[in-house]
Structure 1
Amino acid sequence: MSVVAPNLPLCCGRLTRAVWRGQVSVFRHCSRETNTAQGNISPKDILRPYKATGSTSGLSREEWLDKSKEFLKGLRECPLSELPDKYIALRRSKSRAHAPKSTHFLDYQRVRVVGGDGGDGCISFLSTFGKEFAGPDGADGGNGGHVVFKAVMGLRDLGHISSYIQGDKGEGGGNRDCHGANAKDLVIQVPLGTVFKLEGRVVANLEEEGAMFVAARGGAGGKGNVFFTTPVDQAPRVAEFGGKGESFCYEVELRTMADVGLIGFPNAGKSTLLRAISRARPKVASYPFTTLNPHVGMIHYADHHQMAVADIPGLIEGAHCNHGLGFTFLRHIERCNCLLYVIDTSQPRPWEQLEVLMYELEQYQEGLSLRPHAVVANKMDLPDAQENLEKVRTHIDLPLVPVSAKMGEQLVPLMALLRFLVDHSVTNHTGVSQTPLPT
């Protein structure tokens, strides 16, 4: 569903407040007739230029469709008790936390990193018993601390990283040749797969555990007046200031945010679906744009595999032109290995939602919609949904699972299909064979 708000800035916060106050009263469904940006297109028209090369996973689109359809057919014919453990999602044994607010997932951060300044050198002259002018004894200052990022296991997002990071300053030099102490390096832990960009250029990619990146070096300590002693000048009255630390502004982002990303228009039921299949608690309300930041939930399977599913904020028409917060939202989709299109089956002509979504993804990045994907026909508990479902099957030649996220219906086949999507993506890169369904 898209929003038409004349004379209203497409700022997500202002738009949400306007909807809440009733200032926006005109809503229309995204359809082929009303979408002036794309013209008359269909999913086949969108993907026709890429059929020859196939998807990034190594298989052509026709091969992937055949495999997924065979999987869904076997899933319908196979009793749930005979499913392999890898396709059975475990039920949640713990209740959701009663915290007042749910934290969102942060996969992108602009960080200004400044190294620590070096300590200043000291100007001092020694005077001892019996020798009033013993000479200079001003020592050097200590070096400033570096700012270092280290990739570790156990972290999932960038929420703990501040937008401004500065290293510690080195200690200044003292008299009696007491050099200042060097400042300790500031080591900041980041998740595996963190990428650092400087002016759009990738400068570091921390893919292995323990990998480190020196983002900003600390300044050198200043020299004391002892350093400047010469045979000509035995009592120099000069010392150095400590060097300034390096300063850079990095774009820090995660290479992979989640295994599966839920994509759809506002109010398509993505947050409700994530609540139904995981213990995540994204905000759910009856007005659009309730989700402004991605939320990630974990699904646990019987073979001890954990899958991350991300609720991507809703897209609108023209997102590839940065309408609303289009680029910000589309950037999250780049970091999902698989895609799950969520459409509202209760709306008229629901298959056109998929056409608009795939068009926006292709316009933003060529081949983005070709990642392993499936379609979820949500809100099957609402009127006209069953009748629209038959029409959707005739217009969409993709793996389709009808569910009701609110009522919790048909979630078991959906979670089995999600596991198949992820395994298919991993298999095509690693060569590991799949576990077929029992016949």
Structure 2
Amino acid sequence: MTEGNFVDYVKMHVTSGNGGKGSSHLHREKYITKGGPDGGDGGRGGHVIMRGNSNLWTLLHLKYKRHFRAGHGLHGSKSRSSGADGIDVYVDVPLGTVVRDTETNEILFEITDEGEEIIVAEGGKGGLGNWHFKTPTNQTPRYSQPGIPLSESEITLELKVLADVGLVGFPNAGKSTLLSVVTSAKPKIADYEFTTLKPNLGIVQYRDFQTFVMADIPGIIEGAAEGKGLGYYFLRHIERNSILLFLIPADAPDIKKQYDILLDELRRYNPEMLDKERIVAISKCDMLDDELKAELKVELDNELPIPYLFISSVAQQGLIELKDKLWAMLNK
């Protein structure tokens, strides 16, 4: 998927259908000139329904279609004939989609399961026909109920990527390079910061034809939780990852300090992120000789509170050990 085709934020207007009105018909046929009430009920207005679809990875299909309108219920008729229900409109969304009220920013619901259906705009109920109102003292009611009007609202869809492993790191730490080496994904790679502007997903092939999904999001900088850099706009994609893989380059001035900054940004965005499994990968380790690596290892053993590995995506070093470790953590 190209970078421009990844859409994870869409606003739309949804409108349900009016309920049909009940009929006030009185029964009439040959030799029956004063029959009783036989007006049928109105049909229900159509719903607008969100439906989870595991074959979708982005909201691209909704980018240029922002209005969804369901059908109106038909009116009741004679012989207690009910009007047809309005046609429901289904909006397929990828798993991990959050639906918010645009005006209040309140989360209405989340779609996380294949085939899950939730009504976002409920159709109006059809009105009752006059035969419902027949009583011993009012045997020919000439009135019926009108249908309940439609409902409409402005909603916002946000996609939170569903992945097993999320890559967390500063810009230019080598996240996209790692993703391109361990998966078949082809993210944009260059030697300047914020090369990645949209999340990228890749499927990691493991032993015995087993797989897991890895996500690369744009780099985080200090102050991202307050909106600096690309801000918190993409931090939500880490919320659904099972494991956070912190990628810190071997030539970083202070590896422990970079890890602390990244962890603090996640904590300020959502403290629940600290409950996830974490591991650090020291990238670009092909720049280190054995002596420097040994010194760095002694230093990290004392400073880092979580497991770490040395890897090099370019030189293909430590990648098998990294996959083994991630797979063990996913299946703990």
* Residue in 2 that maps onto 1:337: 242
Residue 312 of structure 2 corresponds to residue 409 of structure 1: no
2:215 corresponds to 1:315: no
Which shifted more, 340-349 or 412-421? 340-349
What pairs with 1:174-323 in structure 2 (closer than 5 Å)? 180-190=83-93, 196=99, 204=109, 210-221=115-126, 243-250=148-155, 257-323=162-228
Q: Distance in 1 between matches of 2:191 and 2:39?
A: 71
How far does residue 314 in structure 1 lie from its aligned partner after superposition? 0.7
Give the deviation of 1:111 after TM superposition: 5.2
- SS of alignment partner, residue 324 of structure 1: coil
May I ask how many residue pairs the two structures share in their alignment? 321
Alignment of 1:385-404 (within 5 A): 389-390=293-294, 392-393=296-297, 394-395=299-300, 396-397=303-304, 398-404=306-312
Change (3 A) 1:300 1:390: same
Aligned CA distance change for structure 1 residues 300 and 164 (closer, same or farther; 3 Å): farther
For residue 59 of structure 2, what is the aligned residue in structure 1?
Answer: 159
Letter in 2 for 1:165: F
Q: Is the 8 A contact 1:140 1:222 kept in 2?
A: yes
State the partner residue of 1:419.
327
3-state SS of paired residue (1:375): strand
The alpha-carbon distance between structure 1 residues 257 and 414, as it changes in their structure 2 partners (threshold 3 A), is: same
Structure 1: gaps (5+ residues) = 1-98, 428-439
Segment drifting more, 357-366 vs 389-398: 389-398
Q: Which structure 2 residue ranges, 5 or more long, are not aligned?
A: none
Percent pairwise identity: 34
Q: Which amino acid aligns with 2:47?
A: H
Q: Post-superposition shift, 1:402?
A: 2.3
Q: What amino acid is aligned across from residue 186 of structure 1 in structure 2?
A: V
- Which structure is higher in RCO with an 8 Å CA cutoff and minimum separation 6? 1
Deviation, structure 1 residue 341: 0.8
- Give the Å deviation of 1:419: 1.0
- Give the Å deviation of 1:268: 1.2
Query: Partners in 1 of 2:227 and 2:181 — Cα distance?
Result: 31
Q: Which residue in the other structure is 2:46 paired with?
A: 145
Cα offset, 1:318, TM superposition: 0.6
* Cα shift readout 1:284-339 (whole Å, capped 9, x = no counterpart): 22322222221111113223432111102111111122223322222222221111
Deviations 1:339-387 (A, max 9, x none): 11111223444443223212212232335245222112222345x6877
Contact 1:123/1:138, CA 8 A, preserved across alignment: yes
Q: TM-score, normalised by structure 1?
A: 0.58
Identify the range of structure 1 (281-290 vs 215-224) with the bigger mean alpha-carbon deviation: 215-224
CA distance in 1, matches of 2:71, 2:314: 52
- Give the alignment's Cα RMSD to 1 decimal: 4.4
TM-score, normalised by the number of residues in structure 2: 0.73
Asked if the contact 2:42–2:126 (Cα under 8 Å) also holds between the matched residues in 1, the reply is yes
Q: Which residue of 1 aligns with 2:262?
A: 357
